[in-house]
Amino acid sequence: MFHFSATFRKNTVRCLALALLLSAAALTPALAAVPQTAAMQESSRSAAQSGGPEKQAPLSAGKTQSSPSQAAPKTGPARTLPQAPKKQSVPPKDSGITLTISAAGDCTLGTDENFGYDGTFAAAYDAADWDASVFLKGVEPVFRNDDLTIVNLEGPLSEGGVRQEKTFAFRGPSHYVNVLTAGSVEAATLANNHSYDYGEDAYWDTFRTLGEAGVMPFGYEESQILSVKGIPVGLAGINDLAGGAEEQLLTELQKLKAEGAQLLVVYFHWGTELAAVPDPDQVYLAHLAIDSGADLVLGAHPHVLQGVETYKGKKICYSLGNFCFGGNSNPSDKDTMIFQQTFTFRDGRLAGSDAGRIIPCRISSTPDCNDYRPTILTGAEAERVLAKIAGRLPGTEQEGPVSDPEDKP
């Protein structure tokens, strides 16, 4: 099992939450060995169908709390789960450990109230009789057989909050988190331009809902360290649209390294919507992240695929595109991908990685509309998507937007 610890904000809300947690912990002997803050446990998912080992669901370790420029939370929930953790066995020295990460793009599990009902994610969820597993069923075998799956959760999961003054504001009820858990997703960045669509209350509702379900929330000043197979994996989420990205990136990476992370993943929200190639700012931040210690750089916000670059032996996925995307019922560009990479550790330290692989997908099981069920592509369609990605590296010239203006969420 994975453990996390968090340094809570010194305010009334968090102090009360921590007091409640400590009261509960006193009744649970298994918590006696956990230092200071909250801990949580998620049962490992079975990989019996694949014949492989169980995939463990990571739990979080919270960090510091100064607020970002646009999405500055003043308070936050205690990051807890109701179950006590079990001690994870430490791998023997000199044994090689492999750790496989899968990454996907924008997951908007909800809709804009101005969209009506027909054709929306809410309508699709109801049509499935609230069976959350159907949405990621087409990609779940990939996610189940890796060690850590990361997505960009774009929009709060909450029944509360007030819609903000903006063109598009997304929200889904808290039980939509079951889409992620049923699909074997363990971590989600909240550092994007839709996490605060219903204000701070809904943001922290989402943070708490994810944590209680065993999906690790991270982003802004809430960088996290997860223990995956005994390896401390650091996750940082940076919203370049909020400003101050360079300073926040350097601060969060330094913080994660100081706390012992042996693998550093940065998920950016950046770039221009519908742009086929990364802009100079994306390239600068991506290279800065790797120069500052990041081992894998991921990106979202353009809502279309961009190139995958190798820089100093590290991979940069400039835009993973949409994935399980409730922001548009029928975008003209439905191409997406899963990026997967395996890292090798010896004596607890990173020893190398494979070249990574792109798994071409479509955001829907049908090309005719968006049914919010990402599907793996094969044959000629897969080759087409791979060629598209290869042609969208930095410096590649593209004329105009690559999708219809209506695709913009």
Q: Which residue has the higher pLDDT, 21 or 130?
A: 130
Distance CA 63, CA 231 (A): 18
Do residues 110 and 159 touch, judged by C-beta distance below 8 A?
A: no
Can you tell me the mean pLDDT for 193-202?
A: 98
Average pLDDT, the chain: 83
Of 61-75, 162-176, 252-266, the one with minimum mean pLDDT is: 61-75
Strand partners, 103: 150, 339
pLDDT reported for residue 403: 55
Q: What is the CATH number of domain 12-396?
A: 3.60.21
Q: Is the pLDDT of residue 264 over 80?
A: yes
Q: State how far the Cα of 10 lies from the Cα of 2, in Å rounded to an integer.
A: 25
Q: 278: burial class by Cβ within 10 Å (0-12, 13-18, 19+)?
A: buried
Q: What is the pLDDT of residues 91-119, one digit of tens each?
A: 555 569 999 999 999 999 999 999 999 99
In this predicted structure, the answer to whether residue 221 has a pLDDT above a threshold of 90 is: yes
Residue 372 has pLDDT above 60, yes or no: yes
Is residue 18 pLDDT above 80, yes or no?
no
Q: What is the mean pLDDT of residues 77-85?
A: 39
Buried b (16+ CB within 10 A) or exposed e, 313-326: ebbbbbbbbbbbbb
Between 362 and 407, name the one with better pLDDT.
362
The predicted-structure confidence for 174-193, as pLDDT tens digits, reads as follows: 999 999 999 999 999 999 99
Distance of CA 330 to the CA centre of its chain: 23
pLDDT in tens, 277-313: 999 999 999 999 999 999 999 999 999 999 999 999 9
Domain ranges of the chain: 12-396
